[in-house]
Copies of this chain bind each other. A is one copy, B any other.
Amino acid sequence: MSTSPKKVVVIGAGPVGSLAALYFSHANWEVELYELRGDLRLPENLSLNFSKSINLALSDRGIDGLRNVGDNEVLLKKVLEETIPMHGRMIHSGKPSDKGMSQGYDVHGRFIRSADRWKLNVQILDALAERGNVKMIFNHGLRKMDLDAGEVEFENTKTKESVTVHTDLVVGADGAHSATRRLLQKNVQMYYEQTYIDTLWQEYHIPPHPITGDFQLSPNHLHIWPKQTYMFIAIPSADKTFTCTLFMSPSLFAGLGKSREKHLAFFKKNFEDVIPLVGEDALFDQFMRNPRLPLISVKCDPYHYKDRAIIIGDAAHAMVPFYGQGMNAGLEDVRVLFDHLALHPGDLAAALASYSKHRRPDSHCINDLAMRNYIEMRASVTSRAYLARKWVEEMLYAYIPWLGVRTMYSMVSFSSLRYSEVVERVRRQKLWMDTIAGGVVLAGVLGVGFVGLRGKTGVVGTARAVWRALREG
């Protein structure tokens, strides 16, 4: 148990690793930040950004992580300036005549923000560059760790030289395929689980309108074209473009082959309104050029070894991207870690053990929610029962706030309540909503309200939908 540790080696200079380095720097540690790849900020490394380009949906947890470092929220303000508010989902059928159906994220008007991962990363690295006690070392890959001796060995990927570093603490933030995690398993009897889902993702790009130069879709929505077993999404960027992603099974991708005809027919059938937005030539060009990448989900336990090492971010809990929480959870890890360091001053081993024990149920929860949302986003956002239940919850949330009803989404995205607590509250909420739903009276009353809002289904049909929604949830 070291009482006043001095030096930390952070592995991985993505947003989570960089933020961790910044926290440690402000806590007066001597910080060395190692990154396998080159410095993102150099023009020759722009291409490095590519494989991580699903735009981020920055929500409260990520914002809290950025807020709690340094003075006056300078970093946070800079970051927020570059984001675009997204107030809801816009659900598209794909038909050119259909302008989409907007589903607000929050009846109280709260929103998530589209953020560019590269910009966010650069902003944190820039903040680090101003700190006197931080060294940033790029192009260094982790090779070995002797944690009890406090020794870490890197290979300089350009010179192939090996470099041994001494440190009190290792923080692994090196992503889903974390080398830190793999080496940590030599010290820790770790529960570890990885699952690849049967879905690849491929990027497309919607440019600004060729004449007006403006966004071609509403810039304040996350656009979704749900198609049961696959889906297309578009997220706004500050340059008035949309970064789009097609999520689809490898076999369906394979079915399209390299055929321009099949690809176009596929879009015509499912996402016809997207074709003119991207442009027919660009669409096929991007289909051929952009890689198709897998999606992995990782769970493990514990995250630490004595007072020597800890893993955070995707290294600890890579998740599928369907709750928009991967990066938020990673940035929150840093804040929570420092909460636990503060709870155990001078006892790093206790702090890491306490963090690990506290964080595991939350990480596992959001990991599972992301997997569940994968199903929901593809299928049930258009189902009547889903919409009815969402509406009932939101009305209760908006007009009877003392009831304490909040949607899962709002608690995940617009609070820093523990993920596990969110799930528990939803479970309890569902129990008494089911009980209330047993009273036909309420179902009737709500049914009339629902008709007013939706204006197309009969009272009986609506009451039935509400009832079903309350029970199926």
Interface check A189, CB cutoff 8 A: yes
One of B189, B190, B191, B195 near A191 (C-beta < 8 A): B195
Within 8 A of B (CB), among A135-190: 189-190
Given contacts A190-B194, A191-B194, A191-B196, 10 further A-B contacts (CB under 8 A): A189-B196, A189-B294, A189-B296, A190-B196, A191-B195, A192-B192, A192-B193, A192-B194, A193-B193, A193-B194
Chain B residue, CB-CB nearest to A186:
B177
- 13 of the cross-chain contacts (CB-CB < 8 Å) are A189-B196, A189-B294, A189-B296, A190-B194, A190-B196, A191-B194, A191-B195, A191-B196, A192-B192, A192-B193, A192-B194, A193-B193, A193-B194
Query: Which residues in B have their C-beta under 8 angstroms from that of A296?
Result: 189
CB distance from A64 to the nearest CB of B (A): 32
Chain B residue, CB-CB nearest to A296:
B189
Query: Which residues in B have their C-beta under 8 angstroms from that of A192?
Result: 192-194
CB distance from A131 to the nearest CB of B (A): 36
Copies of this chain present: 2
How long is the Cα–Cα vector from A9 to B156 in the complex, in angstroms?
A: 33
Chain B residue, CB-CB nearest to A182:
B182
CB distance from A248 to the nearest CB of B (A): 15
Chain B residue, CB-CB nearest to A194:
B192
Interface mask (A194-230 → B, CB under 8 Å = 1, otherwise 0): 1110000000000000000000000000000000000
Interface mask (A293-326 → B, CB under 8 Å = 1, otherwise 0): 0101000000000000000000000000000000
How long is the Cα–Cα vector from A193 to B195 in the complex, in angstroms?
A: 8
Q: Which 7 A-B pairs have the closest CB atoms?
A: A189-B196, A193-B193, A192-B194, A191-B195, A189-B294, A191-B196, A191-B194
Chain B residue, CB-CB nearest to A200:
B189
Query: Which residues in B have their C-beta under 8 angstroms from that of A193?
Result: 192-194
How long is the Cα–Cα vector from A189 to B200 in the complex, in angstroms?
A: 11
Chain B residue, CB-CB nearest to A185:
B194
How long is the Cα–Cα vector from A195 to B193 in the complex, in angstroms?
A: 8
How long is the Cα–Cα vector from A210 to B296 in the complex, in angstroms?
A: 60
Q: Which of A189, A190, A196, A294 has the most CB of B within 10 A?
A: A189
Query: Which residues in B have their C-beta under 8 angstroms from that of A294?
Result: 189
A residues sitting closer than 8 Å to B (CB atoms) are 189-196, 294, 296
How long is the Cα–Cα vector from A195 to B294 in the complex, in angstroms?
A: 24
Query: Which residues in B have their C-beta under 8 angstroms from that of A195?
Result: 191
How long is the Cα–Cα vector from A35 to B428 in the complex, in angstroms?
A: 56
CB distance from A296 to the nearest CB of B (A): 8
Query: Which residues in B have their C-beta under 8 angstroms from that of A189?
Result: 196, 294, 296
Query: Which residues in B have their C-beta under 8 angstroms from that of A191?
Result: 194-196
Query: Which residues in B have their C-beta under 8 angstroms from that of A196?
Result: 189-191
How long is the Cα–Cα vector from A191 to B190 in the complex, in angstroms?
A: 16
Chain B residue, CB-CB nearest to A299:
B193
How long is the Cα–Cα vector from A195 to B195 in the complex, in angstroms?
A: 15
CB distance from A54 to the nearest CB of B (A): 18
Chain B residue, CB-CB nearest to A191:
B195
How long is the Cα–Cα vector from A296 to B185 in the complex, in angstroms?
A: 12
Chain B residue, CB-CB nearest to A195:
B191
CB distance from A298 to the nearest CB of B (A): 10
How long is the Cα–Cα vector from A196 to B192 in the complex, in angstroms?
A: 9
CB distance from A368 to the nearest CB of B (A): 15
CB distance from A468 to the nearest CB of B (A): 30
CB distance from A267 to the nearest CB of B (A): 26
CB distance from A412 to the nearest CB of B (A): 26
How long is the Cα–Cα vector from A196 to B189 in the complex, in angstroms?
A: 6
How long is the Cα–Cα vector from A381 to B90 in the complex, in angstroms?
A: 59
Chain B residue, CB-CB nearest to A295:
B189
How long is the Cα–Cα vector from A192 to B194 in the complex, in angstroms?
A: 5
Query: Which residues in B have their C-beta under 8 angstroms from that of A194?
Result: 190-193
CB distance from A242 to the nearest CB of B (A): 28
How long is the Cα–Cα vector from A194 to B194 in the complex, in angstroms?
A: 9
CB distance from A287 to the nearest CB of B (A): 21
How long is the Cα–Cα vector from A192 to B176 in the complex, in angstroms?
A: 14
How long is the Cα–Cα vector from A296 to B189 in the complex, in angstroms?
A: 9
CB distance from A114 to the nearest CB of B (A): 29
